[in-house]
Structure 1
Amino acid sequence: MRRNSLATRLFLSATSWVVVILVITGFVLSSVYRDATERAFDRRLNLYLRTLIAEVATPEEPPDHQFQSLGEPLFELPLSGWYWQITRTDSDKPEVRASRSLWDKKLPKLEDRGTELTAAGIRVAYVDGPEGESLRMVERPVDLGADGKFLVSVAGDASEIFDETRSFDYYLGGTFAALGIVLLLTTIFQVRFGLAPLKRISESIADIRSGRAERLEGVFPVEIAPLARETNALIDANREIVERARTHVGNLAHAIKTPLSVIFNEASAHRTDPFANKVLEQAELMRDQVTHHLERARIAARVTIVGTVTEVAPAIEALRRTMEKIHRDRGIAIGLKADASARFRGERQDLEEMVGNLVDNACKWASSRVFIEVLVERPAKPGATPMLRIIVDDDGRGLPAAERAQASRRGQRLDESKPGSGLGLSIVVDLAGLYGGSLALADAPIGGLRAELLLPGV
């Protein structure tokens, strides 16, 4: 059920969007078609309106020939739903002439209903007809000067508009229903088969975790290939880190085993001495511990471990306090400015080892001040990995440019004249390189040496 939860969510999301888009599109198309039908109907009414106005403007024509040019038989059919009416408005007793279809009824006046004139000088609105039917009506006031003022109205049966719109909606609904079914089937196909490569990757990672495989193998689609490539890179990076840890533990254990063997042999030669017996006991315990940790290192080398994420600010703050205590006798002030969101894609011990070497070197050479700054550099390209820039400055005498290239080489030290463990910067360069980072040396703004450590972030 969990494995199908992503597919279910994608299907429901896609279905919702398909339904919403189709509904909105259908509403828009229906509104556009209704507006187009109304405009076509209004053009027809305006044609009759202009014809009537022309007839009113030529009163010398014989009455039996007036209003014969409309060409619409429905104006002659009583209560047909198509009507015209001409009302003279400049006399106390308005003179009204109307089509035969009105019979003895009258059309309402749009101006009395507060309908505003359009830019073309007409009023347009829906009204109720003589028989309660819905009419689309246009009305225009006409001023003929000495011949009088008139209000010319034409109305048509609005059921034509409604029937056309309803018919279009039926066809549109059927078409969109079929389209929606096709889109949903396509979505099901895409979700079912499009997520198949992700299922393969999930199964391959399970095989890697259980030891049945070492890498993601096979050909993946272009969209999934970067995921497989980055996963393999992560596996390789973790294998290198584990191997390095195993090597360090092994070297340390072997280095301790020789002195332990000497102690054990010397104590064994004086078993009658209680002190020798105590030394023998502790030496035996230490040898067991060394053997135990060697075995753990060998096991760790065979297991693929997923990389961890380390909060940078707390780790460096703890390191700063430690270094201040170590160099307290010299009065070195260590400042810190760290982005709270900074996170290192790696082990905390490795971060402390790299930064600790840099800060320790800076404190040894500083006159009175060391400053640490942690910056997060967001990627310019989408999907790229953010980087951490850890800067350690001191106010010491600095390092000439000619010597900087040699400072990080194996066996070279920046503090040849200073006491310490003898560790140079090569360990920092090696660790940073394993994580895909780098170390750069430059002049510090506060007067000494600047060490810039670039590491992968999250």
Structure 2
Amino acid sequence: MRGSSLATRLFLSATAWVVVILVITGFVLSSVYRQAVERSFDRRLNLYLRTLIAEAATPEDSTGERQFQSLGEPLFEIPLSGWYWQIGRVDGDKPDVRSSRSLWDKQLPKLDDATGTLTAAGVRLGYVNGPEEQRLRIVERQVDFGSDGKFLVTVAGDATEIFDETRTFDYYLGGTFLTLTLVLVFTTIFQVRFGLAPLKRISESLAAIRSGRAERLEGRFPVEIAPLARETNALIEANREIVERARTHVGNLAHAIKTPLSVIVNEANVHGDDLFAAKVLEQAEVMRSQVAHHLERARIAARVTVVGTVTEVAPVIDGLRRTMEKIHRDRDIAIDVEGDAQPKFRGERQDLEEMVGNLVDNACKWAHSRVSIEILTEAATSDRPPMFRIVVDDDGPGLAPAERAQVARRGQRLDESKPGSGLGLSIVIDLAALYHGRLALDSAPIGGLRAELVLPAA
């Protein structure tokens, strides 16, 4: 059940247990009822057996024969009715078998240890196949009549009554349990649906916080869920406070380092003709570049940890277009914007402005006359969230593959005649990576460099 919700797992688990319990209970009740029907049927057969033994013990009449009655059951008189009695001599050489009229000219089989069960009263019970392959429930007992000899007295009844009675009970039991199962399943669905509703509300509220539609969990929750909501809100507030402290520390560190560096640079400039001073200026510039890069990265990382910040992409792109057109007005650079205006960036506006601004500014510096900006959306898949792409093309000279790899490294510049510190693309790469995005450089269809920025969408 990978990927399934808690409600689904609880429902399936509860349903499985209900079905298992009801099936086991059904088998137990069916077995108990079958045994009860067999005991009732056996009591009836034993009554006929005792009556038959009593009649067999009566003295013979004047003809030397014993007269057996119908035992009060007309079925013993109907041929092959399924109800039979039989008395057979078990000692002596001459067989002596008496049987009910229903048995016609057939004989009942004997029970043995494999087919019958012997009771404490000396009565053996079991199932046999009788005449016409009827399934019979049979009881037999060996009786010693003294000088008259030993006889095996047998009474059999049609076992169809037992089977029909049990089958009818199983049908009613199955229908009852099926109804009970459906009732329990619907009850479980109701309990799971409404019992887990507060957790679903928390899940939806957390999604709203991540998408920027809310800042904290709002609403009333049951007493069991309320502590979770309170702790979650406290965690969100603590996260914001940590980020604010990190921003403050980064700013303080920037001022604390930049001031001594400025003093070193100023002192070295005073001794500009000294080789040592020139080396100090060179290394101070390297230090300034390193400090600027790492402080910028720390500042960015602090902002990325903020939960629930969402920025509309289209207004940022439009604002950058107007700004770049003003900056490069003397070169008459045309900046075209097209594509989807709906994407939202899951992050802060100033970070999006910094990333796209670096790319558009770089394109405008190298373009001959045209810069193209395209916004594309990518739907979510099973292994990644929804993303959007900002593609910036220029019609400038472009870069060879080796030059693209070089220019993406921090502080690397291919043409010192263009203004800048060489940190722009590296900052974009670092910032995009912190947001789990990426920057790719390629050849533009219009002749220059293509910069493709992929970022998470809200």
**Short-chain TM bin:** 0.5 to 0.7
Structure 1 residues 285, 193: closer, same or farther in 2, change over 3 A?
A: farther
Structure 1 residues 213, 283: closer, same or farther in 2, change over 3 A?
A: farther
How far off is 1:141 after superposition?
1.4
Structure 1 residues 225, 152: closer, same or farther in 2, change over 3 A?
A: farther
Name the residue aligned to 2:40: 40
Name the residue aligned to 1:49: 49
Does the CA contact (< 8 Å) of 1:124 and 1:139 recur in 2? yes
Q: Deviations over 1:362-414 (max 9, x none)?
A: xxxxxxxxxxxxxxxxxxxxxxxxxxxxxxxxxxxxxxxxxxxxxxxxxxxxx
**Aligned-partner residue type, residue 163 of structure 2:** F
Structure 1 residues 113, 104: closer, same or farther in 2, change over 3 A?
A: farther
Matches within 5 A, 1:320-331: none
Distance 2:277 2:86 in 1: 131
Distance 1:239 1:71 in 2: 96
SS at match of 1:28: helix
SS at match of 1:150: strand
Q: Deviations over 1:313-356 (max 9, x none)?
A: xxxxxxxxxxxxxxxxxxxxxxxxxxxxxxxxxxxxxxxxxxxx
Name the residue aligned to 1:420: none
SS at match of 2:132: coil
How far off is 1:50 after superposition?
2.2
Does the CA contact (< 8 Å) of 2:115 and 2:126 recur in 1? no
Does the CA contact (< 8 Å) of 2:85 and 2:99 recur in 1? yes
Structure 1 residues 75, 201: closer, same or farther in 2, change over 3 A?
A: same
Does the CA contact (< 8 Å) of 1:249 and 1:293 recur in 2? no
Structure 1 residues 35, 232: closer, same or farther in 2, change over 3 A?
A: farther
Structure 1 residues 14, 113: closer, same or farther in 2, change over 3 A?
A: closer
Structure 1: gaps of 5 or more residues? 307-458
Matches within 5 A, 1:38-437: 38-59=38-59, 67-68=68-69, 70-111=71-112, 115=116, 117-221=118-222, 224-225=225-226, 227-229=228-230, 231-232=232-233, 234-235=235-236, 238-239=239-240, 242=243, 245-246=246-247, 249-250=250-251, 252-287=253-288, 289-290=290-291, 293-294=294-295, 296-304=297-305
Distance 2:254 2:46 in 1: 103
Distance 2:40 2:264 in 1: 109
Structure 1 residues 202, 275: closer, same or farther in 2, change over 3 A?
A: farther
Count of aligned pairs = 305
**Aligned-partner residue type, residue 259 of structure 1:** P
| Deviates further, 13-22 or 45-54 | 13-22
Name the residue aligned to 2:25: 25
Distance 1:121 1:27 in 2: 31
Does the CA contact (< 8 Å) of 1:209 and 1:304 recur in 2? no
How far off is 1:196 after superposition?
3.8
Structure 1 residues 112, 295: closer, same or farther in 2, change over 3 A?
A: closer
SS at match of 2:125: strand
TM-score w.r.t. the length of structure 1 is 0.55
Distance 1:226 1:64 in 2: 95
Does the CA contact (< 8 Å) of 1:208 and 1:304 recur in 2? no
TM-score w.r.t. the length of structure 2 is 0.55
**Aligned-partner residue type, residue 263 of structure 1:** I
| Deviates further, 129-138 or 185-194 | 185-194
SS at match of 1:131: helix
Structure 1 residues 275, 50: closer, same or farther in 2, change over 3 A?
A: same
How far off is 1:23 after superposition?
3.5
Q: Deviations over 1:51-97 (max 9, x none)?
A: 22333344479999965483323223332211111112122112222
**Aligned-partner residue type, residue 48 of structure 2:** Y
Does the CA contact (< 8 Å) of 2:70 and 2:76 recur in 1? no
Give me the identity figure in percent.
81
SS at match of 1:90: coil
Distance 2:211 2:292 in 1: 26
Does the CA contact (< 8 Å) of 1:257 and 1:287 recur in 2? yes
Distance 1:210 1:111 in 2: 81
Distance 1:200 1:169 in 2: 45
Alpha-carbon RMSD: 3.7
**Aligned-partner residue type, residue 166 of structure 1:** R
Distance 1:210 1:293 in 2: 29
Does the CA contact (< 8 Å) of 2:58 and 2:66 recur in 1? no
Q: Deviations over 1:225-252 (max 9, x none)?
A: 4554554455455456555655655554
Structure 1 residues 112, 301: closer, same or farther in 2, change over 3 A?
A: closer
**Aligned-partner residue type, residue 38 of structure 2:** E
Structure 1 residues 222, 106: closer, same or farther in 2, change over 3 A?
A: farther
**Aligned-partner residue type, residue 38 of structure 1:** E
How far off is 1:148 after superposition?
2.2
Structure 1 residues 226, 34: closer, same or farther in 2, change over 3 A?
A: farther
